[in-house]
Amino acid sequence: MSDHDAGKGDENRTGHDQTGDGRIETGETGHDRIGESTVEDGVSRTFESDWGRPRPGEDRQVLGPVIRRGPYVRPTTTDQALLDGGADAAWVHTDPWRVQRIQSEFVEGFDTLAGLGPAVTIFGSARTPADHPMYEAARQLGRMCAERGMAVITGGGPGTMEAANRGAAEAGGVSVGLGIELPFESSLNRWVNLGINFRYFFVRKMMFVKYAQGFIVMPGGYGTFDELFESLTLAQTGKKTHAQVALVGRDYWRGLWEWVRQSTLAEGNISPDDLKMFICSDDLQQVVNHVIVRSR
């Protein structure tokens, strides 16, 4: 066995990397076996490069699982940065800090909605005026869902969302609003009796779909389209099983339906069965029955 191989054997036994100057450094997993595999925490890893090995005379920094070299070496350790009371407070807007905010939003959402019970999410425009027929339709849908024992979840804003929350609240049901931090929209509407405000769209969207047994989609804009296709994608891929989707407003959705059928289906980008994943109706009772009965 060569001196290099012998040293490598010592390294594998200790799980540490001897730098040559008396310092012991630990790599990402405690292993530096090039081209070999190891199983750690149930995960198989193969080490195919020597990126983690120190080179003579180079600057190298190991902070937990992260190895930094050259210009990537930070002047302070994580603890030093934490204890530096005079440091630039801009660090709270960095990506690692955002991860904590994102995590806290997930925890808050899960904790608040875990005991919600059966629910229907109603999507629609924030711009629908109170005298519009779709406002009254959303109000009736909220009431009908609440009378069937379903909580009603909306984005918590004005327009269609307000109408659905209003109908649920007037029927004595659970009226949920999941708001989002936007520069041009107001706070949660007054008909919400269980509300959460989110910073991040993707956390909010998770709450929309996780706790709903069905989705009712009213006329709306880009945000409503995004929520519609998110729901259909989750159903198509089996990520959200048994959830039903119903579109309200045949005239409004006709152009989209024709495009999906004549272009998307015709080009083979979806299957004929994918068209069966939703209905489009002006019959509110049919809509409620579809999302509640078929979702069970």
Examine the domain organization and report whether 114 and 10 are in the same domain: no
161 assigned to some structural domain: yes
Highest-pLDDT range among 36-50, 80-94, 110-124: 110-124
Examine the domain organization and report whether 27 and 174 are in the same domain: no
Look at residue 269 in the predicted model and tell me its pLDDT: 97
Rounded to whole angstroms, the Cα distance separating 219 from 132 reads 11
Rounded to whole angstroms, the Cα distance separating 182 from 157 reads 11
Residues contacting residue 291 through CB under 8 Å, at least 6 positions apart? 120, 213, 214, 215, 216, 244, 245, 246
pTM of the model: 0.70
pLDDT higher than 50, residue 217? yes
94 assigned to some structural domain: no
Question: Mean per-residue pLDDT for 158-173?
Answer: 98
Look at residue 220 in the predicted model and tell me its pLDDT: 98
Residue 18 vs residue 152, higher pLDDT: 152
Element (H, E) at 160: helix 160-170
Rounded to whole angstroms, the Cα distance separating 217 from 248 reads 6
Domain boundary among 33, 49, 83: 83
Q: Is the dihedral of CA 183, 184, 187, 192 positive or negative?
A: negative
124 assigned to some structural domain: yes
Examine the domain organization and report whether 239 and 131 are in the same domain: yes
Look at residue 60 in the predicted model and tell me its pLDDT: 57
Rounded to whole angstroms, the Cα distance separating 94 from 102 reads 12
Identify the CATH number of the domain in which residue 262 sits.
3.40.50.450
Examine the domain organization and report whether 50 and 168 are in the same domain: no
Question: Mean per-residue pLDDT for 211-223?
Answer: 97
Q: How many domains does the chain have?
A: 2
Strand segments, DSSP code E, in the chain are: 17-18, 24-25, 37-40, 43-46, 60-63, 66-69, 119-123, 151-154, 175-180, 194-198, 214-217, 244-248, 278-281
**60 φ, ψ (degrees, to nearest 5):** -145, 135
Examine the domain organization and report whether 66 and 128 are in the same domain: no
Examine the domain organization and report whether 74 and 111 are in the same domain: no
DSSP 111-151: HHHTT--SEEEEE--TT--TTSHHHHHHHHHHHHHHHTT-E
Domain that holds residue 268: 103-293
258 assigned to some structural domain: yes
Residue 129 vs residue 90, higher pLDDT: 129
91 assigned to some structural domain: no
